[in-house]
Amino acid sequence: MLVTVNALQLAVGVLLSCSTSLGEVSVYGRLTLGIAWAFTQLAVLIGGTWWYECRAVSSSDPASATTAAARSAGGAW
């Protein structure tokens, strides 16, 4: 999922960079489509990194039942 979201962001970014007139379209006041897209890319990068970090930490935590069984049996971690 993370790769798909980032690939979509990259594809739209390449499209916007190929056309200067498309990036200059006004979205709200002085905010252009290019700047709005840059903020969107930043938000997706931060959100994706946070999501990945949460998943990586939770998958590396040992299960409580496994560690309790290892401790009671005197086995190694």
Tens of pLDDT, residues 26-74: 889 999 888 898 898 889 889 888 988 888 887 666 655 555 555 565 5
Give the count of beta carbons closer than 10 Å to the beta carbon of residue 37.
Answer: 19
- In sequence order, the 6+-apart residues with CB closer than 8 A to the CB of 67 are 77
d(CA 21, CA 50): 34
23 lies in which domain range?
Answer: 1-40
Number of structural domains in the chain: 1
Taking alpha carbons only, the member of 3, 36, 41, 42 closest to residue 22 is 36
**What predicted TM-score, i.e. pTM, was given to this entire model?**
0.61
